[in-house]
Amino acid sequence: MKTMKSILVLFVLAVTANIGFAQKQIILHQNTGQDYISTTLAVDSITFQDFATPGTAYINTYTDSNAVGMNSHAKVTWDAQYKGDIGIIAGGFDENTSDIIFDEANPANIAIEGKVRLSTTQTFEPGREGPGHCVVSSMGTLYDSHYDTIQADSLYSGSTGNYQVIAADTVLVWDAPVDSTDWAYLTVAAGDMYAWGNGYKTTNAQFTYKGLTTSETLYLQYLGLIQTYYTFEAQFQFLASSVSTDPRFCGSSIKSIVHVQMHMKYK
């Protein structure tokens, strides 16, 4: 029995070491629709779990050619309350890029720039995605398009032995998205980030979306150097409008808080 207990303890220790349990833990979040844009949250509704003392980690992807964003190993996700009160709709972006200056010892030096291509959003609900469908349309992405003419033809049916005449018609063909409508940007300037709890915070993250730039509260946490990757979690919220004339109108399905989370890795 003692032998089995010893084996179990060794196994737990091995697994713990392998997954980097000693590293700083990720930010926990549950989207309850609580608004931390206009009100102060209790611990801002975000819990930082962190056991490591701030160190001297430093990375600068702007000037160090050896420091690059691992976009293939990173992601940006979003979630919101569907129609304000009947569940959650969520998604992410296939295309995202970012740069960072991270100075663990001097948080005022931290700077971030990132962007996502809106037309690449995925919700795992295929009927919502792509040009002409609700998610991309609500995000304000416009597409070039043209009409193609289908020539009249006939189709032979083996089951009836008859030909079915297909009349000439025109069909709408979607082309590439209009680039100026297809991006959302986030920028944190040096001097705006400060140590907060076991992470970092700024109330002046510049978020540009649908032609409007607003200052948002951004939370950042450095999770450590994990398998050679400098790994970060960041998140913020913004308010989607239910008024169709507002720049941030997101259609009739999203009328409230949109939560955005970034999982960033650099090498």
The values of phi and psi at residue 181, to 5°, are -105, 5
Nearest to 209 by CA among 253, 176, 248, 243: 248
Domain 24-142+178-266's class? mainly beta
Instruction: Note the pLDDT tens digit of each residue in 194-227.
Output: 999 889 999 999 999 988 899 999 999 999 987 7
What would the pLDDT profile of 173-191 be if each residue is shown by its tens digit? 767 878 788 899 999 999 9
> 88-118: string of b/e by CB count within 10 Å (b at 16+)?
ebebbbeebebbbbbbbeebeebbbbbbbbb
Torsion angles phi and psi, residue 109, rounded to 5: -85, -10
pLDDT at 203: 96
Residue in 206, 182, 200 with CA at minimum distance from that of residue 264: 200
H/E stretch holding 15? helix 2-18
pLDDT, position 23: 37
How does pLDDT run across 193-202, given as a tens digit for each residue? 999 988 999 9
d(CA 242, CA 255): 5
Tens-place pLDDT, residues 117-127: 998 888 887 77
At residue 73's C-alpha, the angle toward residues 68 and 78, to 5°, is: 110
pLDDT tens digits for 230-254? Answer: 999 999 998 876 666 676 766 666 6
pLDDT at 6 over 80: no
Q: Could you tell me if 94 and 76 are in contact, meaning their C-beta atoms sit under 8 angstroms apart?
A: no
Q: Could you state, in order of their start, the residue ranges of all structural domains in the chain?
A: 24-142+178-266, 144-175
With a threshold of 0.75, does the pTM exceed it? no
